[in-house]
Structure 1
Amino acid sequence: MSETPGDELIKAVDTLLPALLQGMDAVSFIARHMHPPLLESLVEQMEPVAAKLKQARPAFDAAEWPKHLSAFAAHVREAADETEAVFQGLREAVGDQSSPGGPIFAAYRGMRHGPRAMEALYPVSAMLPPVNRFFLDDSARDNEALVEELAQGVGKEGTGIHHFGNERKQRGGFSLYVPETYDATRPHPLIVACHGGSGHGRGFLWTWLTAARSRGAILLSPTSLDTTWSLMEPEQDRASLARMIAHVNERWNIDATHVLLTGMSDGGTFTYLAGLAGGPYTHLAPVSSAWHPMLIGSADPARLNGLPVYITHGALDWMFAADMARLASSELSAAGAEVTYREIADLSHTYPAEENARIMDWFLG
């Protein structure tokens, strides 16, 4: 019996989707283990996965998709394009001494396509259970009730991903994720996640989305007014962030007892600057960030007393030495903060996504 057009489409999806998800997992693995001495090895390890994705594409790309599936096909193609752009960017980064910052910064620039792949694929989570599970923590992927509730909640007013003045070339806006399980009758935890230097909130959203989605938290990912946070004049971005949080509070039911401020690199340093100064933040979680003893002197002692702070840093961090984080832990503890310090042996200057589950356990108690 010959294949029908429907059979061909199913076969195209069944061929491409596993290769695409494996490719996106590979991008996440590379992002987690990015370290200057390991770049060439990471690229070598990715090549079989990249080849598998490339081989899986022709049937999907050549298929004639009916009108009601055209958006689905476009999302999958875009996710595959962006994933392959990561792979190509990493290949080009190896040995690239001409780019500003050398190979590692060229690799970071190539990795910017990773969040774009996530953004492109996310709408498909409402259509296909494997993609729905892909955007959950490992511990939540077998939770059939949650998977079903998330799928059923798609399109519910006020839920999903929203961008407020936060196109990729814009500064000073924010992206927001409201879980599809949102219930306006009860308060929800709020995570405020700050990108690193030269980063953007629209991309950094995906660093935290699976954790927020798995735990029913609202996620706000702001973009700094300039190319990085106003570390020398913190009031500028601090005021901008306050306006964003006020906007979210007006529309969604936020649990004022659970407001986490977190950030990576410069975003982590800004977490100290903004969080120690006060504001609505009940918990602080800086990651791979710089610390200066002057920060402790500018904080209100009453604010520090009992303040929960979760510090994560890599022993291999080549930008901000782990000694900085150890000093922050020591000084904040001495000032009365309740500090949890996590130094990760194989972590360089990058984001340890697996730590989000531990941070959420600590944050939600």
Structure 2
Amino acid sequence: MRRALVALLLAVSLLPRGAAPQALTSLSSLRVRYNTQKATVRPEGALREEIDQLDREIADATRLGHTGDVRRLLAKGPVLLAGRPWTDSLEYSTSLVVRSDRVVVDPARPWLVRLEQIYRPAVSLDGPLSAHVEIRRPPAPRGNGASAPAAVTIKDLGSFEGVGRDLRESPHPMDLDLTGVPDGTYQLAVVVQQAGHSVGAAALTIAVRSGLDALVARLEHGAASAPESVRADILYPVDRMRQVNRGRLELRTFDPARDFAAAEEILAASASGHDPFDGRTGDFKRHYLLESAGEIMPYRMYVPTEYDPSRPIALIVALHGLGGTEDSFFTGYDGLVPLLAEERGYLVAAPLGYRVDGSYGWGLANLPADPTTRQVQARSEEDVMQVLERVREQYNVDPRRIYLMGHSMGAIGTWRIAPKYPDLWAALGAFAGAGQPATLERIAGVPQFVVHGDADPTVNVAGSRGMVARMRELGVTFEYIEVPGGGHSDVVAPNLAGMFDFFDAHRK
């Protein structure tokens, strides 16, 4: 482990200088959004025919591996379902992406970005094109019924002439000067113009951080001599920045201000001979090196204030839904999970699952055919099990009271992981999920708490109904709550206390 972390530290300082694509929203997330909208709108007549044709085109593009075209079609579908026309401007804008070698940027350093295209749009553009570039503060979310607030321009970076019509063949480079831009998270907005009129636009979310090189050097130097138990916690923001810059993770999975500050606090504490996690309670993050991936992974912990290391304590492993992170069960669902954990005396450990769309493995099903998908899913499951192992090493976890739960993809993951490790779990909690009823025989002795809304447009209620029907046949102890009119996410918070009640009542 020590050698692996030292190697990782060295790798961070040897980053490639060529431009790398930043992480676009995963195709899995785009598909779920589109399918959810289809289930909500329920198109009929001519619109249904148009959507059916679109679905055939998506299937063909997927089969051929044309991911750019898949993205175009998954952008077109929601527009049509909303009753709007798919215009040339949308066709062109959706093709545009902004890329760079980094999205966490020191404003004192020159910054090169490129305007590119992920597919060839079916649009004819005659005449010269230019690009106008600004740094904008992202607008605050709109309130109910309110119009979208305007973005605030922080710095006008000027116009760039000679933008090509085919940016796949000839990406357009732009040297940008961020001098004077304060630390923070912004949108780099690029508007493509023809004869003074906008014909398309693209944006890239970036984080500006002054003194970045010095900060990285300080953390690397300190981590080299820090205790191994906290070395990954110190190096995490450096490694996460590297993964984000390489496009392996979205910037939203990384908060430079928060994560660098936390690493500096841990470094300072360890340098003074103090273990910052010794006796720590409440809500905090830990990190470790997932050696199979060569990446430092985060997980979020809740330790109740009355935790006594001499007394065994119950543990809940919480799996987030598609697009979520290790933060989801702490900041979402009305913040009830940590509140209930404190009240009932539970540890909570929430892993990332390697990627926001990792799916937590494939359970007992056939291996995914695509090798990249197979690798991501394998590491997703491994991350969950590594976090469980680490928490059991660090705390006096009661082996009779280890619980697994999740929402959406996390519920699907719960029903994938539990049958692979059937002897671990005291009970399961599955909110708005689906599974393979045939796997339930392996966990017939594990009580299960299941919640689903009968109007869920994202994961059809049939997913839980099928699992519950098989539980009933097998004599599994379960509680099933089907919420009339319930959607995909609104059924979780009102039933979390019930899940804790269920867990309280069941131990191995």
TM tier relative to shorter chain: 0.5 to 0.7
Is residue 500 of structure 2 the alignment partner of residue 360 of structure 1?
A: yes
Residue 218 of structure 1: SS of its match in structure 2? strand
1:270 maps to which of 413, 418, 430: 413
Decide whether aligned partners of structure 1 residues 89 and 266 sit closer, same or farther in structure 2, where only a CA change above 3 A counts.
Answer: farther
Mapped partners of 1:246, 1:272: distance in 2: 19
Residue 92 and residue 304 in structure 1: after superposition, are their counterparts in 2 closer, same or farther (change >3 A)? farther
C-alpha contact (below 8 Å) 1:174/1:222 kept by paired residues: yes
Change (3 A) 1:262 1:86: farther
2:431 paired residue number: 287
Compared CA separation, residues 93 and 215, structure 1 to 2 (3 A): farther
**CA 1:237–1:339: 2 relative to 1, 3 Å:** same
- Give the match for residue 345 of structure 1: 484
What is residue 212 of structure 1 aligned with on the other side? Answer: 341
* 1:323 alignment partner AA: A
Which residue matches 2:101? none
Q: Structure 2-normalised TM-score?
A: 0.40
Q: Quote the residue 1:322 is aligned against.
A: 461
| Separation in 1, partners of 2:433, 2:147 | 28
Match of 2:353 in 1: 224
**Match of residue 164, structure 1, among 259, 269, 286:** 286
- Whichever structure has more strand as a proportion of its residues is 2
Match of 1:241?
384
Alignment check: 8 A CA contact 2:283 2:302 kept:
yes
- Residues 164 and 276 of structure 1: is their aligned pair in 2 closer, same or farther, counting only changes over 3 Å? same
**Do 1:304 and 1:335's aligned partners in 2 also have CA atoms closer than 8 Å?**
no
> What amino acid maps onto 1:314 in structure 2?
G
Q: Which residue of 1 aligns with 2:308?
A: 183
Report the equivalent of 1:252. 395
Do the aligned partners of residues 156 and 244 (structure 1) sit closer, same or farther apart at CA in structure 2, a change above 3 Å counting? closer
How many angstroms apart in 2 are the aligned matches of 1:92 and 1:251?
A: 49
Q: Distance in 1 between matches of 2:316 and 2:140?
A: 30
Deviation, 1:238, is 2.4
* Distance in 1, Cα, partners of 2:487 & 2:418: 24
Deviation string 1:173-217 (CA, Å, 9 cap, x unpaired) is 211110111111211111111110011012322341111111111
Q: Does 1:197 align with 2:322?
A: yes
Q: 2:58 matched to which residue of 1?
A: none
Counterpart of 1:297?
A: 438
Amino acid at match of 1:182: Y
Aligned-partner Cα distance in 2 for 1:214–1:156: 22
Post-superposition Cα deviations, 1:112-154, rounded to whole Å, max 9, x if no partner, equal x9xx9xx9xxxxxxxxxxxxxxxxxxxxxxxxxxxxxxxxxxx
Matched pairs, number:
224
SS at match of 1:165: strand
Aligned-pair identity (%): 22
CA distance in 1, matches of 2:296, 2:319: 13
Q: Compute the displacement of 1:243 (Å).
A: 1.1
Which runs of no fewer than 5 residues in structure 2 stay unpaired?
Answer: 1-38, 42-138, 150-199, 201-251, 259-276, 289-294, 363-373
Deviation at 1:90, TM superposition (A): 8.6
Aligned to 1:334: 473
Q: Could you list the per-position Cα deviations for residues 41-78 of structure 1 after superposition, in whole angstroms to 9, with x for gaps in the alignment?
A: xxxxxxxxxxxxxxxxxxxxxxxxxxxxxxxxxxxxxx
Q: Is the 8 A contact 1:306 1:337 kept in 2?
A: yes
Larger-gyration structure (1/2)? 2
RMSD value over aligned CA atoms? 3.5
TM-score normalized by the length of structure 1: 0.54
Distance change in 2, residues 1:36/1:339 (3 Å): same
What is the CA-CA distance between 1:248 and the residue it aligns to?
0.8
Q: Structure 1 residues 225, 354: closer, same or farther in 2, change over 3 A?
A: same
Q: After TM superposition, give the deviation of residue 278 of structure 1 in Å.
A: 1.7
CA distance in 2, matches of 1:244, 1:89: 39
Letter in 2 for 1:248: V
Contact 2:361–2:417 under 8 Å retained in 1: no
Tell me the secondary structure at the aligned position of residue 173 of structure 1.
strand
Q: How far apart are the structure 2 equivalents of 1:277 and 1:202?
A: 25
Q: Report the secondary structure of 1:210's partner residue.
A: helix
In the superposition, relative to structure 1, how do residues 297 and 93 fare at CA in structure 2: closer, same or farther (>3 Å)?
farther
